[in-house]
Structure 1
Amino acid sequence: MAQGTKPMLVGAGRRDEAHVSGRPWRARGDGLLAAVAVAFTLAQLLLVRPSMGLGWDEVVYVSQVAGDAPAAFFSAPRARGVPLLVWPIASWSSSTTLLRVYLAVLSGLALYLSLRAWRHLFPARVLAGAGAFFVTLWMTLFYGPQAMPNLWVAFGALLCVGCFLRARADRLDEWALRGVLAGAVLMAWMRPTDAVWVTLPLLVLAAVARHRRLGAALAAGLVAGGVQWVIEAYVSYGGLRERLNEASRIQGDLGWNLAVDDQLRSLVGIILCRPCDVATPHPAVFAWWFVLPLLAAYALAVAVRAGRTTRTLVPLACATTAAFPYLFLIGYAAPRFLLPAYALLAIPVADALWNLVTAPNGRWRPAVATVVGLALAGHLAVQYVVLDRTVERTSASRLAWARSAAELHTLGVRPPCLLTGHEAVPVAYYAGCGSAAMRGHNVNTTRAELLRTARRLPVGALTAPGRKPPRHARDWELHRLDGLDVRIAPAPVAGDSA
């Protein structure tokens, strides 16, 4: 091979045209990835309503930097990455629509950059197919414009793993090394524990192969992204071990818990399956879930045969470790938990599909292509139906919170004010009030403190219809809201600050 000539990448016995034909093909490949990213952004804006109100977890994250409501209680498992992500908008605007549009555009850009990190590893058509598969999953579209961390962990995972493989193949690729660092920082900012699980195979590989710079970049990224979380553990939770123990308690005491069936049930559009006692959905909803490992195994077999095992095996390994705690160590399920695993699986799966529908000489296999095309069309239709129903149901519940907040204002519960009880966190944010809890995962007050606050501010205790109120609120004035009961403390005495 002549000096200065790049080696050709081989995929299932075929050469990658992006590396054979020069700049025009590379530009066309980048344009293909950009088209997928733009389509992702537009699909979010069209299918996931930008006007959809903030969810419970979103309220917690956004309220940390918003100026129109007190910050909600920030529990031990959470990290400050999402508040940092939404700060450019939420710090000065209360518009949910503006925030959604901002996040949709930003997630489209993140998709493009994270896929482009793999351009020297797989053909553009494979990467575009991987992107298209990942972003047409209902949970990817649903969380694209939302202030939640899991999709951003997925983007960080794609960036980190792709750049790791590039830096491993070319030790002079400084940009790839920076990509490893950036991807690790992004993951650790969003969810430090997830970042560790995703990068575990990379850390092992770097140590075994003695790639000191790669190992150092990974470690530095994890430390830089997670240092704030660790410092906060000592400042607010009594130490790192105490914060991890508290996080485990909030998540149902992490340990051996088979949650595979819970995750399967949640695929019908249940955004939080806790407890996950719903019926198993129709097989059409979860069939793709069982096809994924088969395609991953086929992709690995193709890679071994083509002599490019590492670049397929590594993302599969990272996807496995990313999914492991949410399948086997936690007692409940949420589809968003597995987004990093789906993102990493998407590339080998897309590679497998391309190798199924094309022969070694690059010609189409019409029969196989037809079957695969019909299967993908059916899969896409199911994903759209689940997404549409999930958006409809979620929008309705969040609109109910907004109506409850408006009714509270008419009852005299206006900022500054405080709400406690059932769904107090989201309703309080919509009303501009603070929220407090005396029990559960968000304990941040006591009965005595609450009663003292009621002498100075409007205080309401929320309960589900028909449920008994807390003892201290039984004599408070009862009002019926939209799906909630509220008991409002007697009006504060003017000038009473005791």
Structure 2
Amino acid sequence: MPDRLAVDPRVAQMRLADPDHLYDRPFPWLAAVAAAFTFLQLVLVVPGSGLGWDETVYVSQVSRDVPAAFFSAPRARGISYLVAPVATLTSSTAALHVYLALCSGCGLFLALWVWRRLLPSAVLAGAGAMFAGLWITLYYGPMAMPNLWCALGALAAVGCFLRAVRGTTDGKALVGLGCGVALVALMRPPDACYLVLPLIVAALVVPRWRRPAVPAVLVAALLLGSAPWIIEAYLHFGGVAARLHRASEIQGGVGRHFAVDDQIRALDGRTLCRPCEVPWRHRSTAAWWFALPLLTAGGIVAARTRRPAAVLATLVAASMATPYLFMIDYAAPRFLLPTYALLALPVAECLRALFLAARPAWRPTAAVLLAFALAGHFAIQYWTLGHVVGRSRVARQEYTAIADQLHLLGVRPPCVVTGYDAVPIGYYAGCASRQIGGHDGSITADGLLAAARRTPVAVIVTPGHGAPAYARAWQQESLPPLRGGPALTVHLAPSEHMESTAAKRPSR
């Protein structure tokens, strides 16, 4: 009886000649990429980093120690649900960031893992490394922000879609598709719409991809993930249309806006560029951005038998980038994280093809040149990351100093902070943040005066700006500066609590 385990010598020769044979076991390679991603976050980003403005809003919704900040129309509660297991147990920012770093590493592994039957392990590992190596990805990995989770959900959803529309029914792929879309919808419902739209079109237009279950799963997952946002729209904003209208107002009016140049300038290390009327100082930070379309096109051409996957990933990436490039008038690099995650796949295909295109004798030289190019790219990314993380650490120190000074002045929990930067200052001080008007308008002047009769109330103003009329007669004190500017001013409401604290303070 012939040995069924024997391998024909010609087959063995072909396997050894195939570079993907070196990576025919995806688990160790994808696990290594995810572990490196997590390790770099824990070493480069987590130590000393604080919570930014948006993070304090999301975390405060589930924090055990801080009152919930006003939740404006554009936001969704997905990231609050994600941080709840830690935020409800401890107020430690470091613990929260470590938890999110571990979660994002696992999320990257799972998002790549669903593609293991579609792409070679070499392509997946390369795509994961390219995406995880961006300063944007590393910075937001441990941050309580939704954009990276939209990216991971979109990456997993597209992979599961391609598996679900193949000839044989893949029940696990349908479940994964639903979970990926629901995750994106839970984090940012508009992003989920731009994810689902091209997938539904593809499922209806491509004859061999027509599976009745796929569009049904896409729509159901979109509605399920968006359900909390939709319910909240009717409870607090007057319906979905009213919430979308209010969200558009807060975002400066969603319409025709060309923000491509804003996104390019934001790669300089700006987490938010609004308005983005700033000089483009370090142009090398955007070199990879200009190479991205060329590498993507090269990857689509090189993919050959895997071309449908590369094309679909590119189309979904373009769809999810559209509102942030052409419909709002400001920029933040995190908005395009889903696009970068999906385009990493054809980019990795292109780099692999460039290496294989070289003659065997020239491949060591090609590998060295490619390594030098990638080393230069990642060096710029880590240089930019260092500057961004440095600003985060300084901001944490400044907010902590302001919170400490407010505590010395008698503004202690339970308390209310309003005025300039009230949301993050209130979070660091353990106070509720309330604004009379603007995007976060959640109280009236009479409401603040009523609150001042039972709890400390602090109105923070910037130099050159007077206090509102209702606070002009209140006690005035100085606070440490923010962002290298002059000292801030705080007006303290008169109350028995404040007077007793002031009496205990040593005279200067």
TM-score, normalised by the number of residues in structure 1 = 0.92
Distance 1:16 1:486 in 2: 72
Residue 468 of structure 1: how far off its partner (Å): 2.1
Residue 257 of structure 1: how far off its partner (Å): 0.5
Residue 472 of structure 1: how far off its partner (Å): 1.7
Distance 1:469 1:99 in 2: 36
Q: 1:453 aligns with which of 443, 451, 454?
A: 451
Distance 1:217 1:53 in 2: 39
Deviations 1:127-158 (A, max 9, x none): 11111110110010000001100000000001
Q: Which amino acid aligns with 2:493?
A: A
Distance 2:497 2:390 in 1: 43
Q: Which amino acid aligns with 1:249?
A: E
**Which stretch of structure 1 is more off in the superposition, 230-239 or 364-373?**
364-373
Relative to structure 1, the CA distance from residue 216 to residue 171 in structure 2 (aligned partners, 3 Å threshold; closer, same or farther) is farther
Percent of aligned positions that are identical: 51
Q: What secondary structure, in the 3-state scheme, does the structure 2 residue paired with 1:241 have? A: helix
Relative to structure 1, the CA distance from residue 16 to residue 459 in structure 2 (aligned partners, 3 Å threshold; closer, same or farther) is farther
* Aligned residue number for residue 59 of structure 1: 56
Q: Which amino acid aligns with 1:233?
A: A
* Aligned residue number for residue 75 of structure 2: 78
Deviations 1:288-317 (A, max 9, x none): 0000000011111223xx233211100000
* Aligned residue number for residue 468 of structure 2: 470
* Residues 349-388 of structure 1: pairs in structure 2 closer than 5 A: 349-359=347-357, 365-388=363-386
CA RMSD of aligned residues (A): 2.0
Structure 2's unaligned 5+ residue stretches are: 1-13, 482-487, 499-508
**Which stretch of structure 1 is more off in the superposition, 203-212 or 280-289?**
203-212
User: Is the 2:46–2:98 contact (alpha carbons within 8 Å) kept by the matching residues of 1?
Assistant: no
Relative to structure 1, the CA distance from residue 330 to residue 469 in structure 2 (aligned partners, 3 Å threshold; closer, same or farther) is same
Deviations 1:25-70 (A, max 9, x none): 64x3211000000000000000003431211111100111111011
Deviations 1:164-195 (A, max 9, x none): 01111243211111110110011001001001
Q: 1:102 aligns with which of 99, 103, 127?
A: 99
* Residues 60-459 of structure 1: pairs in structure 2 closer than 5 A: 60-208=57-205, 209=207, 210-303=210-303, 306-359=304-357, 365-459=363-457
Residue 361 of structure 1: how far off its partner (Å): 8.3
Structure 1's unaligned 5+ residue stretches are: 1-13
User: Is the 2:200–2:218 contact (alpha carbons within 8 Å) kept by the matching residues of 1?
Assistant: yes
* Aligned residue number for residue 488 of structure 1: 492
Relative to structure 1, the CA distance from residue 135 to residue 480 in structure 2 (aligned partners, 3 Å threshold; closer, same or farther) is same
Q: Which amino acid aligns with 1:250?
A: I
Distance 2:18 2:493 in 1: 69
Q: Which amino acid aligns with 1:95?
A: S
Residue 216 of structure 1: how far off its partner (Å): 1.1
User: Is the 1:358–1:364 contact (alpha carbons within 8 Å) kept by the matching residues of 2?
Assistant: no
Q: Give aligned pairs, total.
A: 476
TM-score, normalised by the number of residues in structure 2 = 0.90
Distance 1:313 1:65 in 2: 40
User: Is the 1:413–1:459 contact (alpha carbons within 8 Å) kept by the matching residues of 2?
Assistant: yes
**Which stretch of structure 1 is more off in the superposition, 176-185 or 365-374?**
365-374
User: Is the 1:357–1:366 contact (alpha carbons within 8 Å) kept by the matching residues of 2?
Assistant: no
Residue 228 of structure 1: how far off its partner (Å): 1.2
User: Is the 1:138–1:386 contact (alpha carbons within 8 Å) kept by the matching residues of 2?
Assistant: yes
Distance 2:496 2:17 in 1: 74
Q: What secondary structure, in the 3-state scheme, does the structure 2 residue paired with 1:462 have? A: strand
**Which stretch of structure 1 is more off in the superposition, 169-178 or 194-203?**
169-178
Residue 469 of structure 1: how far off its partner (Å): 2.0
Residue 492 of structure 1: how far off its partner (Å): 4.2
Residue 18 of structure 1: how far off its partner (Å): 9.7
Residue 370 of structure 1: how far off its partner (Å): 3.1
* Aligned residue number for residue 7 of structure 2: none
Deviations 1:224-246 (A, max 9, x none): 10111111100110000000001
Q: Which amino acid aligns with 2:311?
A: L
Relative to structure 1, the CA distance from residue 275 to residue 297 in structure 2 (aligned partners, 3 Å threshold; closer, same or farther) is same
User: Is the 1:454–1:492 contact (alpha carbons within 8 Å) kept by the matching residues of 2?
Assistant: no
Residue 398 of structure 1: how far off its partner (Å): 2.0
Residue 17 of structure 1: how far off its partner (Å): 9.1
Residue 465 of structure 1: how far off its partner (Å): 2.7
User: Is the 1:17–1:123 contact (alpha carbons within 8 Å) kept by the matching residues of 2?
Assistant: no
Distance 2:178 2:147 in 1: 19
Distance 2:441 2:493 in 1: 20
Q: Which amino acid aligns with 1:99?
A: L
Q: What secondary structure, in the 3-state scheme, does the structure 2 residue paired with 1:419 have? A: strand
Distance 1:149 1:106 in 2: 13
